[in-house]
Structure 1
Amino acid sequence: MNRLWFRITVSFSLLTFTLLVFLWFFVASVSENAFKQMTGEHLYENAQLVAQLIETSDLEGGSEDLQERIALFREPVSMRFTVIGTDGEVLADSENAPGTMENHGDRPEVQEVLEDDAEFGESIRFSETEGTEMMYVASPIYNAEGVINGIIRTSYPLHNIEDTMVVFWRGLAVFLSIILVIAAVAASILARSITRPVSDIIGVTKRLSGKDYSSRVHTKVSGEIGELAASVNDLATNLQNQMRALHENEQQLSTILSNMVSGVMLINQEGRILMINSAMEKFLGQHNQYIVGRDYRDVEDNLGLREGIATVFEENEKIQKEITAGEMTKKVFDAHFGPYYGNGWKQRGVIIVLHDITDIKRLENMRSDFVANVSHELKTPITSVKGFSETLLSGEVTDEETRRSFLQIIYDESERIDRLIRDLLHLSRIENKVSPLNIQDVDLVRLIHTITNTMTKAISEKNLEVTLPPSTESVIIEGDPDRLNQILLNLIANAITYTGEGGSIRVSIEITSSNVRVSVSDTGIGIPEEYIPRVFERFYRVDKARSRNSGGTGLGLAIVKHLVESHKGKIELDSVEGEGTTFTVIFPILQ
């Protein structure tokens, strides 16, 4: 911006200097011409004045009186007077003796008067007599009859005019120099007044280009530059608002993408990955710094996305397919591939969206297994009920004992169906949280002893050794008494069921600062390691024949798990096949 200020000042100064030079030459020329004209007129007037003083007799005789009379004009005025006859002979001269001077008939000013019959003649030339440039003015002298009787010539040395002009030129040069200096200073001030706000505006625009959208022009000027500054400020304000809105939109989009459970990937027309969200990082098992900016063909593809991406590039159409990935986890994805477009609906690249439907598939499989299990569990007792009922209705059974045995089987199978249905309804209510907890203070030691007392017969039949917490102790927690009873009843009953004759069962309680751990251990058949993750599933039985013979529905542990979770607790399982099993339930003391 300093260069602009300097260029404006120099340009304006040069323009002013050029105009002043032309003005100087013009004024000098006009002044010189005017001065010479004025000098010529002055010479003519003096010639007329002297001509009136000269008598005709003086001209005819060339007397010494004429020379003396002309010599008188040498001192008062600084001009030279010469009297010339019509034949060119010098009759008198105020500077030199006439006898020493040559004939002046060939002088231009003399010829102009004599030959052209002009009122006066004028010329400028070098004078050999005076040795300098002279201005000559000749005027005719008339006799009484009006005939030219002679010529009076006045002359003036031009060096006097030149000296006068030099003084004049110096004065003019000083005056014009002052004007030039004033013009240069004014140009500098004007240039600064123009360039300073322009410099501020340029500074603001540079800061705006550097993403400093808070910068403004604070220079107070009027006119077009003021309007320009106001326009730049309005532009900066609008740009700041737009960038703020854009930043907010980017933040919102980034937040949405980062919190999406679906994976998103964006690929440009050249095949380079522009963006992925955190869910896609998780699905691909790679950090975005190893993915973004690379060609999708060069990135490790553990999900098999390349084929779908290439298809969209080739056919420019949306496709959807199901992808199964991972040998261990068996993740299932619902993959959507589609083109995305820019201005003019020109394809800009491909967008991929992955939905993790592993849980949905698992739930579908569980629902399918659940339906199959329920059907299977109901099929056996219903078949028994139907078979024995048909036998009785046919009248073929006449023996009262046999008929009673058939009826007992029908009753037992009906009871089994009833228990199954009640457990299913109970499990459904627990899962859907239809029945709220009835929170009370519950003494776990007392509850354990009460449950064990109801199973004394089963314990005695198997000659089991049961170890319980001392009845003198008291462990109080907050919980629903009925549901806590159902939890412990299921665990103790399972321990009795799956422990062989002469085995042992131990129920213990461990208290921590905020939790209570209740463990039910047995020395029964145990659970194979590969089955442990599934024992809490509906209808899952490790020993299916023994479970059904015991009258179990296969829903007990599933109900226990949900009841424990409804009390904000958790259940743990530790089992060794052939050695025994330990179920540990962790309850919070306060709900």
Structure 2
Amino acid sequence: MNKFQSRLLFAIIFLIIIVFLCMGFMLGQFISSLITNSAEHGTSVEKTVQQVWIALIVCLGIALVIILSLIVRITTTYTKPIDAATKAVKELAKGDYRARTYEDHISAAGLLGQSINIVARNIEEMTKSYEMQHDRLHTLIENMGSGLLFIDSKGYISIFNRTINEIFKIDQDDLMGQLYYEAFTHKEIVTLIEEIFMTERKLRRQIHLTIGSEQKDFEVYATPILGANVEWKGVVLVFHDISDLKRLEQMRKDFVANVSHELRTPITSIKGFAETLLDGAMNDREVLDEFLTIILHESHRLQVLIQDLLDLSKIENKGFSLNLSRVNVRELLENSLRMLRSKAEEKEIQLELTVDDLTTVIEGDMDRLKQVFINVINNSLSYSPNKAKVAIKATNLSDDVEIQIIDTGIGIEEKELSRIFERFYRVDKARSRNSGGTGLGLAIVKHIIEAHGGAVQITSKVGEGTTVTIRLKKEISSSKIE
């Protein structure tokens, strides 16, 4: 029983005593009056006692009615509202912020209920706002492209997002509540976290990690979390995957280095032979013819390289457009083979063309597609041994035409296939240069085919040969032409 209930019980008892005292006093006065009247009129004692009992019962009944009325009144006014308020407060304590109690603007208990309801509504609104903010923050953290990791002041992992699991290929149960140096085996990450704990300063660092069989580069933002009164809360780390940026940067460096090398080689040859001729070698007719032939060959090589660079730059430019027309597939392939017939005869390579009878015409740029097939077939001829066979097959599909160039050449290792369309990338560098290749042909092929809305794929086995599969749309939508 609380203090309020004790006081209320005391007040009720006090009122009952007052009522009984009042009724007793009134009953005493009545009995005294009754006895006096009996004495004066000679009424018998039995009758007087009977009247006293009747008066006593009536008084007790009246007193009981009054007491019951007081109890009901007090209960209605104070006890029930307080019980309702107590129940509402208990529900609020349990987390049910929709709980409400009785309220009015007259009694103190009603005002108490009103105050409790105001508090409950405020808490409910704050809870809804908190839940909304929590959901937004959770969605943001879970769907951000970078990995987020929070480590508390004791070194335990308490918050992380889905990207962290995907990056490090670690299950959620293996991270939550684990010490950071037990969850991560990478020395670079452990060293970085320890440095934050020791220095309590922000860090931004690039790290290279081996995750499974993959090499990954990350830019890591790490910062200490300090609360009120500079209280240490923990460390937040954000892992931003920059592997693609690093790869593109390396490709750019390789491209510049390769262009410099490819340009330097023919220019050095031209310059050297020209200087030799000027030093007197030109007087020897045989030497003059030989050197001029070499200079012409190197000039042609230089011209081809520059033309390929210009073509690739033009194709990659957003302003590049196709000169579309109806292209007969058989005619396209026959024209391409005609340009390479002499090279095939030199190596005694058999060229075999098979065109499906249902394959008729496609929509495309005749000149660009011819450039594609000359490049691809020329590669097959270059990397096939003498007296080999190169087959070209065109097959009609529902919406596409599939063209395969199949050779029985040296083949390509599987690890090389992913880079085969990179600029200046060569599987056999020495042989490619000797054959006059610039290393840009397949890069140009890929861009032209994609500009037509098609796809190109290469499959190969070392020692068995290579198959280049090209799919071209019969009809090109305007969204594909850029």
Task: With the length of structure 2 as denominator, give the TM-score of the two structures.
Answer: 0.84
Please give the secondary structure, in 2, of the residue aligned with 1:455: helix
Report the equivalent of 1:22: 21
AA matched with 2:242: I
Picking from 513, 517, 533, the partner of 2:418 is 533
Q: Is 1:290 aligned to 2:289, yes or no? A: no
Match of 1:171 in 2: 55
Q: Distance in 1 between matches of 2:367 and 2:134?
A: 54
One-letter amino acid of the counterpart of residue 273, structure 1: I
Task: Measure the CA separation in 2 of the matches of 1:498 and 1:488.
Answer: 15
In 2, distance between residues paired with 1:483 and 1:303?
52
The offset of 1:437, in angstroms, is 3.8
Aligned runs of 1:571-590 on 2, under 5 Å? 571-590=456-475
Distance 2:221 2:334 in 1: 59
Q: 2:305 is paired with a residue of what secondary structure?
A: helix
Distance 1:211 1:481 in 2: 73
Residues 293-372 of structure 1 correspond to what in structure 2 (within 5 A)? 293-302=177-186, 304-321=188-205, 322-326=207-211, 328-372=213-257
Say if 1:301 and 1:27 are closer, same or farther in 2 by CA, change over 3 A. farther
For 2:454, the aligned partner's letter is G
Deviations along 1:524-569, one digit per CA (max 9) or x if unpaired, are 2323444333322221223333322332111111222233333343
Map residues 30-49 of structure 1 onto 2, 5 A cutoff. Answer: none
Residues 1:6 and 1:589: Cα distance change in structure 2 (over 3 Å): farther
User: Within 2, Cα distance between the matches of 1:374 and 1:329?
Assistant: 29
The correspondence of residues 109-188 of structure 1 with structure 2, limited to 5 A, is 171=55, 174-188=58-72
Change (3 A) 1:258 1:444: farther
User: Is residue 213–residue 236 contact of structure 1 (8 Å, CA) maintained in 2?
Assistant: yes
Q: Which moved more, 1:21-30 or 1:516-525?
A: 21-30
The structure-2 alpha-carbon separation of the partners of 1:240 and 1:488, relative to structure 1 and needing over 3 Å to count, comes to farther
More helix by share: 2
- Per the alignment, residue 384 of structure 2 pairs with 499
Once the two structures are overlaid, the 10-residue window that deviates more, 270-279 or 311-320, is: 311-320
CA displacement at 1:452 relative to structure 2: 0.9
Question: 2:424 touches 2:440 (CA, 8 Å); kept in 1?
Answer: yes
Cα distance in 1 for partners of 2:96, 2:454 equals 55
CA apart distance, 1:26: 5.1
Contact 1:437 1:480 (8 Å CA) reproduced: yes
Q: Which residue of 2 aligns with 1:73?
A: none
RMSD after superposition: 3.8
Cα displacement string for residues 433-478 of structure 1 (whole angstroms, at most 9, x for unaligned residues): 3313444443323211121122222222222211112486534334
- For 1:499 and 1:486, the matched residues in 2 are separated by 20
Measured in 1, the distance between the counterparts of 2:127 and 2:313 equals 53
Q: Is the partner of 1:466 in helix, strand or coil?
A: strand
**Which of 393-402 and 283-292 deviates more?**
393-402
Letter in 2 for 1:498: Y
CA distance in 2, matches of 1:478, 1:250: 54
Q: Distance in 2 between matches of 1:482 and 1:255?
A: 51
Counterpart of 1:255 in structure 2 is 139
What is the CA–CA distance in structure 2 between the aligned matches of 1:476 and 1:249, rounded to whole Å? 59
**Distance change in 2, residues 1:342/1:245 (3 Å):** same
Shift of 1:521: 0.8
> Shift of the alpha carbon at 1:329?
0.9
Amino acid at match of 2:335: T
- Contact persistence 2:359–2:396 (CA under 8 A): no
**Equivalent of 1:222, from 97, 105, 127?**
105
Local SS of the residue matching 2:418: helix
Deviations 1:160-212 (A, max 9, x none): 7x996996587356425423432323422442344444455455544544544
Give the equivalent residue in structure 2 for 1:91.
Answer: none
- Summarize the Cα distance change of 1:191–1:13 in structure 2 as closer, same or farther, 3 Å threshold: same
Q: Is this contact kept in 2: 1:529–1:576, CA < 8 A?
A: yes
User: Structure 1 residues 544 and 272, CA, compared in 2 at 3 Å: closer, same or farther?
Assistant: closer
Q: Deviations over 1:86-131 (max 9, x none)?
A: xxxxxxxxxxxxxxxxxxxxxxxxxxxxxxxxxxxxxxxxxxxxxx
Counterpart code for 1:326: I
Contact kept? 1:443, 1:475, Cα under 8 Å: yes
Between Structure 1 and Structure 2, how many residues are aligned? 474
In the superposition, relative to structure 1, how do residues 211 and 163 fare at CA in structure 2: closer, same or farther (>3 Å)?
Answer: same
Amino acid of the structure 1 residue aligned with 2:19: L
TM-superposed deviation, 1:252: 2.1
Decide whether aligned partners of structure 1 residues 241 and 35 sit closer, same or farther in structure 2, where only a CA change above 3 A counts.
closer
Deviation at 1:353, TM superposition (A): 1.4
Deviation at 1:277, TM superposition (A): 0.5
1:202-213 correspondence runs (5 A): 202-213=86-97
Shift of 1:486: 2.2
Are the aligned partners of 1:5 and 1:188 in contact in 2 as well (CA < 8 Å)?
no
**Structure 1: segments with no counterpart, 5+ residues:** 44-75, 79-158
On the 8 A contact 2:281/2:288 being kept in 1, the answer is no
Cα deviations across residues 253-293 of structure 1 (Å, max 9, x unaligned)?
22222222211111222322211101111122122233213
Equivalent residues of 1:430, 1:563 under 8 A apart:
yes
The CA distance in 1 between the partners of 2:333 and 2:139, in whole Å, is 51
Which of the residues 544, 549, 564 maps onto 2:429?
Answer: 544
Counterpart of 1:419 (choices 286, 295, 304) is: 304
Deviations 1:289-322 (A, max 9, x none): 3321333344353465333323323332233432
Quote the Cα distance in structure 2 between the aligned partners of 1:210 and 1:424.
73
Q: What residue number does 2:447 align with?
A: 562
SS in 1 for 2:469: strand
Residues 390 and 301 of structure 1: is their aligned pair in 2 closer, same or farther, counting only changes over 3 Å? same
What corresponds to 2:333 in structure 1?
448
The residue type equivalent to 2:104 in the other structure is: V
Structure (1 or 2) with the larger CA radius of gyration: 1
CA distance in 2, matches of 1:303, 1:480: 55
CA distance in 1, matches of 2:389, 2:421: 23
In structure 1, distance between residues paired with 2:59 and 2:10: 21
SS at match of 1:355: strand
Q: Distance in 2 between matches of 1:418 and 1:450?
A: 23
What's the secondary structure of 1:305's corresponding residue?
helix
Q: Describe the shift of the 1:427–1:235 C-alpha distance in structure 2 as closer, same or farther (beyond 3 A).
A: farther
Q: Is the 8 A contact 1:20 1:180 kept in 2?
A: no
Q: Does 1:192 align with 2:191?
A: no
Assess if the C-alpha contact under 8 Å between 2:147 and 2:238 holds in 1: yes
- Contact (CA 8 Å) 2:383, 2:410: kept in 1 or not? yes
Asked if 1 retains the 8 angstrom alpha-carbon contact of 2:218 and 2:242, the reply is yes
Give the equivalent residue in structure 2 for 1:267. 151
Residues 512-523 of structure 1: matches in 2 within 5 Å? 512-523=397-408
CA contact (8 A) 2:269 2:298 kept: yes
Residues 424 and 438, structure 2, Cα contact 8 Å, conserved in 1: yes
Does 2:273 match 1:388? yes
CA, structure 1 residues 525+306, in 2 after alignment: closer, same or farther (shift >3 Å)? closer
Counterpart CA distance in 1 for 2:157 and 2:238 is 14
CA distance in 2, matches of 1:419, 1:187: 111
Equivalent of residue 162 in structure 2, options 260, 264, 278? 278
Distance 1:364 1:77 in 2: 131
Tell me how far apart the structure 2 counterparts of residues 360 and 20 of structure 1 sit (CA, whole Å).
Answer: 94
